[in-house]
Structure 1
């Protein structure tokens, strides 16, 4: 693994958003790392995501914002909440100008692959090892960490960063394995080519339709070339958490039978939808020990109802790199400082994301009407300033 004379040997397990972001921030801080990604190629997996000002601020700092903006779509129209049955607008929040004034950056939507492409541009090719599936993590007698891989190879490092997602192998070396709880909710996702999407779905808006037990989200991605659709519905006995699992278009459409035809027409215009179960995991009370730590979904998987999963991984990356750069000769202390700086914030976001499910899925009735009435008065952009105004440099200072 390449490393500078005075820096620790750092191994990142996982080449997703968090893994590439931390490698990029480490490079910016003058440290080096090896990134071990189990996939043999960087493929266009996943779907759309939101990049709020707290994430965009860090993409700018990393020097990849220009590349990110090639395919990102600015939410000029803003956030929009609609009623399931007839599409009546419950609230609209215009973001243009306001986001910049409050937080110094705009809010964007983007395909996950396009964000990965931007982050990868900050990491030298020679740092990345593809087809490297980590199978074991063991602390050595000398205070290092030995990684074992499926191909029989091994590598020793001073610092191991587990950025390997919800099924993290690295997490298993730190915590007692606890099976996730069944949430009872599953997600569907599909991409609709812009040419097949109705005009209202192509607007630069993040639209959420709220209904009993379900909600339905759409926004443009890929520079406006496609519309990302993601929807949440009761899972029944479905428990597959794989991103590669699929469902039938008619199955997806049937879940939203009786909804505004614009919803079911958009479903029909998409390709074969992906489908996965949302599994529930308790926040960890700690995620570092010795020279091993976690980042992103490996540390704090959260329901996607605040659209902060990717942003929190990028925040983790910026904080962790800064902590390691500040104490390159004492990585164990650096990891403790990192965990201390991040634990309360990510736990709070896990909790509010969890609670949002129940708010979004109220059955029609007095509670739902009271909820809808609050939307007209609320200003989530201001009310969630603790999310969007966060700056790792200030948090660490």
Structure 2
């Protein structure tokens, strides 16, 4: 591949694309708005569909060193009682589910990209399409500057939910479960990360709203107050919170136009959150970005020209990404059920978990069985 590629955004999507393209012989540079690749974000759940890409990039041993295995997903009521368990290790023993700090993943991808000859330039606040490449990849996230150039202005829809995100120290014995505590109008997700850390995300329905993004400071006491009725380990976790980020959850449409290749300038394509932002209720945001990156590089390598390659990429990715976004929207409701609906749903999950425990996991086989490395 002899393409000259400029990638806008040095997050998970952009850096994975940089690695995948550079390994195929493209000349790649990455332009990042920030002046440094900061310690932003917190925990990520990486499912086998993305693990296949990490392995194909030759990065699996590095990734194992910075992540922990995820062996179970536990759905619990707000008091801590088990509603349903998804035993990943038992029912999908050949699949690899991992838990990782976003900053460690970005750090690993940055190192790999530089080793492959990618130039990473910081402090570039891109507002127009760079003209000195064959292809520009918009990987600049939910607040993308590239997406409006293809799609015009789009107003996101506030979901009425606000989230707190934080990390605490946790040196307890290894616990390889991701736990979801579900209460009326709110829920808490938590799991351990490598390095003695625990990731906590708490989501609550509330009429006010906050900007998107992870960097808005929140009040730990407000977090504790809003989740004071939760039991189990949650009170102890929240008592140890010293700093917390706060952000509003907005629903965006999947982009109408993913690419432009009209010959008037460089071809342009969107990947990751720039193309299909998702609510964080299926743990697939970073995973879809990793999938996008590999599939885009494979399409560019296998198709005869840019226009055909980008059209093929969109045709492959749009239906899957839309389905995942819709599934995440559904979980936003399911976690927050109230009254009789909550009692019926939780009762059904308890019965299903006891009588057919593998069925709950297989409902998501269409996500986990997907192999991006063969898709194109």
Q: What TM-score range do you get, normalising by the shorter chain?
A: over 0.9
Deviation at 1:45, TM superposition (A): 0.7
Structure 2 distance, partners of 1:96, 1:32, is 40
Checking the alignment, whether the CA contact within 8 Å between 2:151 and 2:256 is kept in structure 1 is no
User: Which residue of 63, 87, 92 corresponds with 1:94?
Assistant: 87
Residue from 76, 98, 111 that aligns with 2:101 = 111
- The CA deviation at 1:239 is 2.2
Q: In the alignment, is residue 394 of structure 1 matched against residue 374 of structure 2?
A: yes
Deviation at 1:373, TM superposition (A): 2.5
How big is the shift at 1:388? 0.4
Q: Residues 194 and 106 of structure 1: is their aligned pair in 2 closer, same or farther, counting only changes over 3 Å? A: same
Counterpart check, 1:14 vs 2:17: no
CA–CA separation in structure 2 for the residues paired with 1:99 and 1:127: 39
Alpha-carbon distance in 2 for matches of 1:311, 1:261:
30
- Checking the alignment, whether the CA contact within 8 Å between 2:56 and 2:373 is kept in structure 1 is no
How far apart in 2 are the matches of 1:129 and 1:10? 13
Alignment of 1:118-157 (within 5 A): 118-124=108-114, 126-137=118-129, 147=130, 155-157=131-133
Structure 1 segment 1-397 matched on structure 2, within 5 A: 7-76=2-71, 78-84=72-78, 86-101=79-94, 105-124=95-114, 126-137=118-129, 147=130, 155-195=131-171, 199=172, 203-223=175-195, 225-260=196-231, 262-290=233-261, 291-327=267-303, 330-363=305-338, 365-376=339-350, 377=352, 379-396=359-376
Q: Report the secondary structure of 1:203's partner residue.
A: coil
Displacement after TM superposition at 1:95 (Å): 1.8
What SS does structure 2 have at the residue aligned with 1:243?
coil
Measure, in 2, the Cα distance between the counterparts of 1:362 and 1:45: 31
- 384-393 or 207-216, larger mean C-alpha shift: 384-393
Structure 1 range deviating more: 242-251 or 257-266? 257-266
SS of 1:186's partner is: strand
Q: Distance in 2 between matches of 1:332 and 1:349?
A: 26
Distance 2:69 2:232 in 1: 27
1:11–1:157 CA contact under 8 A, matched in 2: yes
1:39-89 deviations in whole A, cap 9, x for unaligned?
A: 12111110001001111111011111111111201013x1111110x2111
Task: Tell me if the contact between 1:64 and 1:121 (Cα under 8 Å) persists in the aligned partners.
Answer: no
CA contact (8 A) 2:158 2:209 kept: no
Give SS of 1:33's match: strand
1:83-133 per-position Cα deviation (integer Å, ceiling 9, x unaligned): 10x2111112222253233xxx31111100111122223212652111122
Unaligned runs of 5+ in 1: 1-5, 138-146, 148-154
CA-based RMSD of the aligned residues comes to 1.6
Query: TM-score of the superposition, structure 2-length normalised?
Result: 0.92
1:150 paired residue number: none
How many residues in Structure 1 have an aligned counterpart in Structure 2? 363
Per-residue CA deviation, residues 242-268 of structure 1 (Å, 9 max, x unaligned), is: 311011111001111222163122112
Which secondary structure does the structure 2 equivalent of 1:239 belong to?
coil
What is the Cα deviation at residue 175 of structure 1?
0.3
TM-score, structure 1 as length reference:
0.88
Deviates more, 1:272-281 or 1:122-131: 122-131
Please list every run of 5 or more consecutive structure 2 residues that lacks an aligned counterpart in the other structure.
262-266, 354-358
